Amino acid sequence: MVQALQKNARWKGRRGPLVLVIMDGVGYGAYAEGDAVRAARMAHLDAIASASACTRLKAHGTAVGLPSDDDMGNSEVGHNAMGCGRVFAQGAKLVSASLKTGALFAGDTWKKLVANVVPSAANPGRFRGSLPTLHFIGLFSDGNVHSHIDHLKAMVQRAAEEGVPRVRVHILLDGRDVGETSALEYVRPFEEFLAGIRGRGCDARIASGGGRMYLTMDRYGADWRIVERGWHTHVLGDGRAFPSAEAAIETYRKEIPGIIDQDLREFVVTDSENQPIGAIHDGDSVVYCNFRGDRALEITEAFESPEGGFDKFDRIRLPKVEYAGMMEYDGDLHIPRRYLVSPPAIDRTLGEYLAATGIHTLAISETQKYGHVTYFFNGNRLGKFSETLETYVEIHSDVVPFEQRPWMKCAEITDAVIDAIAGGTYDFIRLNFPNGDMVGHTGVFNAVVCGMEGMDLQLGRLRKAVDAAGGVMILTADHGNSDDMYEHDKKTGTVLLKPDGTPRAKTSHSLNPVPGIVYDPDYRGDYDKALNSGLGIGSLAATCIGLLGYVPPADYDPALMNFSHE
């Protein structure tokens, strides 16, 4: 339990609320071509920036706890950083370190998974006409946002070394954190890797898969049909049959021109008798090898909920397996029950301090980012710090492709925030506009421009409400995306083209800095308006505390401006 924050005797804050606006996926692009933010008519954002103190903030790599500055930021670690005020080592870094030291393989969870499928005198195996199997399910790329293929390879290799007789891999094709049609760049070398594993006596093969946005990786309960398709594909072996993953990818690309990896349909690899080679059965072990939690919770619930205790879809059958996640995806509810690597222990978050200090808070977004302004912002913690002081509002997202509704629910979010500002109940309001990220991931440039302009209209509305209430508004982002919509040559910066001469779309996050804009219409020289440079988005927590009239914790990253409180 944290102590209440100390009041700043020299700075009392404003009469109106502090509004933190997270423009998800909106950064400062390095190239004019492909920068949808720059291409959009952002008159309100420009006007706010011209009347504000501004800086650029780091939102990737080591600034948000990732292994290196070559690693893209993402919404999970970005909201963690903004909400906890300090840099914690995050999933990718923790898993890599655990594999390097061997701690993952020395842990009880790994030992139990392996012992369950390795025949021995005590456990001779449960033969169904085939060998007991260790299954891996997860995002199949080196994007390092939800997973990394090197982690998967290390576990498959170790399983073979420890005598696991059969391994099956269920791959979720990316095209989102990596190139939009790069799947075969991962599948072909991995098939060669598996051939080497088979040469050492372990029958290791790709068993099923499909695009990450089509099956398995739903989040926040937005569309459980995605998880249901994954269950049928991975667990039941029920889906369109192919002789290999490569054949499936090539077939779908021919049948559905222009389809990108994240949307590829399901495939089940079958044998010469057209039987699935990797359905999951009683007695098997299963690892969900994503380290990021938001798109892991639903498939985990499907595996861990007992018979009669799951109502999201008909599982047909529930195999009795040893199941584990790469990490603990929810530290409060302890989901999953078993995991391979412990997540960062994030404590003393901004939300906890504000609740202890008696600050009334509103957190709001639509479904796609609701968990980010609540769960991730609070340090991977479900629930509230105070039922009386905190209000969480979810605006339900439309279940349609984002390029078809690029404005998403930004107007509805703004409606609610304007009412909250006028009502005078809340001291601190945080909101997330998902447009720049969710539409950015589609790779449809014009849709992203439309999404940006729709969001910009809402920024203008928010400015008027903040002006009327005498509040302060901070505009920022958790990472870049919509600012970098084309693939560029890394040496020359030239836009890379498809065979038809059109730009190659980029669907992943960018490494670009994000806004740090402090709009304070009642500023009268009562703090240093010259913003500090070289900071990361973790500095936003101390900034919010300072603008509310309190002294930030001493070990928080420094605020964007210098407040005198001595």
Report whether 452 contacts 435 (CB < 8 A).
yes
Classify the C-alpha dihedral 8-10-12-13 as positive or negative. Answer: negative
Write out the H or E segment, with its range, that includes residue 362.
Answer: strand 361-366
Q: Cα–Cα–Cα angle for 412, 413, 416, nearest 5°? A: 90
Report the relative pairing of strands 53-57 and 166-173 from DSSP bridges: unpaired
Tokens of 340: 């391979």
Number of C-alpha atoms within 13 angstroms, CB side, residue 375? 22
Query: In 3D, which of 542, 541, 562, 533 has the Cα closest to residue 56?
Result: 533
Phi then psi for 203, rounded to 5 degrees?
-80, 90
Question: Which two tokens mark 34?
Answer: 């492909």
Neighbours of 457 (CB within 10 A): 17
Q: Work out whether the CA dihedral 189, 190, 193, 199 comes out positive or negative.
A: negative
Contact status, residue 133 vs residue 284, Cβ threshold 8 Å = yes
189 and 178 in contact (C-beta within 8 Å)?
no
What is the dihedral angle through the alpha carbons of 437, 361, 526, 520, rounded to the nearest 10 degrees?
Answer: 40
SS3 content of the chain, % helix, strand, coil (to 5): 35, 20, 50
- Pick from 439, 478, 354: which is nearest to 63 by CA? 478
Rounded to 5 degrees, what are φ and ψ at 121?
-60, -40
Output the six-digit token pair for 488.
């560029």
* Residue entry with tokens 């001493």: 554
Give the SS3 label for residue 7: strand
Copy the structure tokens of residue 310: 């799951």
Side by side, the strands of the sheet bearing 322-327 are 241-242, 267-269, 203-211, 166-173, 134-140, 285-288, 322-327, 339-341
Q: What is the per-residue DSSP string for 270-334?
A: B-TTS-BS----TT-EEEE----STTTHHHHHHHHSPTTS--SS--S-----EEEEEE-SBTTTT
Catalytic residues: 75
Q: What is the CA radius of gyration of the chain?
A: 24
